[in-house]
Amino acid sequence: MTTDIKITRRDVLAAAGATVAFGPALTALAADEKRLFRIGACDWSIGQRQKLAALEVAKAIGLDGVQVSFGPPGGEFDLREAGVRKQYLDGCKTHGVEIASLAMGVLNSRPYASDPEAEQWVADCIEVLPKLDEHVVLLAFFGKGDIKGKPEAQKEVVRRLKKVAPAAEKAGVVLGIESWLNADDHLALLDAVGSPAVQVYYDVANMHYSGYDIYKEIRQIGRERICEIHAKEQGVLLGGGPIDFKRVKAALDDIGWTGWLIIEGATERGRSMEDCYRDNQKFLRGVFPTAA
């Protein structure tokens, strides 16, 4: 009995996506029995949005790295400027931490679907990422930028992403879509763009509180289409809320995914952010194998 094996365009894109997002590192990790994760935090969550001091704070907390904000041009720490990039790279060496990825939270108030400047800022970020030897930027679609239930806005996002995706592919970087969309809609958007340089930035708390089965969704989206993950809770520390991180790890193990877990939120009243985040990173290291 013979079996016909059909390779779809989606299969090809997914395989290519793994190469773009992780390159040789993924191949090496796939060969290891013990896959290692790295633990970071959003610079805004540790009170240092688009500030160089985020690196020092991350070190004090015990993190491996920081997700750094990328905003409009002209700020004090505008990564478009070579001197600022050098400050960040030097700071990483000084404090022994890394830049995990970049994030464009500015798109929540300046929607990518409609703002011409926002479209240019994403193009700017694609140019900046390889200059930092970074590969992932989070594109946020919340607030004014929300595209859930808005087919015309989604079509425009697809049009803009298709226009910029070739530059992202050439640069070896990934644009991570973080939105209120469920797994089906996220995958439909990715398929419409048709580029391995556009993937899902998965936030476990956002998706859980939207009513989605996050453990099923992680498996559905798959390794090659999740570029990074926000480890998040609302009003409690990680491990103290409804997100079952052991089940999250089981889902990631099933698809063979490893990479950065970026802590967001997850603080509780009456305690400092620093103390909360020390506990958060210790909790994650107790669930996910890391080098630390």
C-alpha span between 199 and 138 (Å, rounded): 10
Q: SS3 for 261?
A: strand
Determine the angle formed by the axes of helices 214-221 and 245-255, rounding to 10 degrees.
Answer: 20
CA dihedral of residues 42, 48, 51, 54 (deg, nearest 10): -70
Residue with tokens 């009995």: 1
C-alpha span between 241 and 247 (Å, rounded): 13
C-alpha span between 238 and 282 (Å, rounded): 10
How far from chain centre, in Å, is Cα 275?
A: 24
Residue with tokens 């490893």: 258
Q: Give the residues of the chain that fall short of pLDDT 70.
A: 1-34, 292
C-alpha span between 163 and 182 (Å, rounded): 24
Domain ranges of the chain: 34-287
C-alpha span between 61 and 83 (Å, rounded): 26
- What does the pLDDT look like over 14-26, one tens digit per residue? 444 444 444 433 3
Q: How many CB atoms lie within 10 A of CB 29?
A: 16
At residue 291, the pLDDT reads 85
At residue 4, the pLDDT reads 31
- What does the pLDDT look like over 92-111, one tens digit per residue? 999 999 999 999 999 999 99
The backbone torsions φ and ψ at residue 68, rounded to the nearest 5 degrees and listed phi first, read -100, 135
Select 34-287's CATH number: 3.40.50.460, 3.40.50.720, 3.20.20.150, 3.90.228.20: 3.20.20.150
Report the predicted TM-score, pTM, of the whole model to 2 decimal places. Answer: 0.89
At residue 292, the pLDDT reads 62
What percent of the residues of the chain are helix, what percent strand, and what percent coil, each to the nearest 5?
Answer: 50, 15, 35
First to last CA, the chain: 50
Contact 263, 281 (CB under 8 A): yes
Q: Which helix (H) or strand (E) holds 23?
A: none
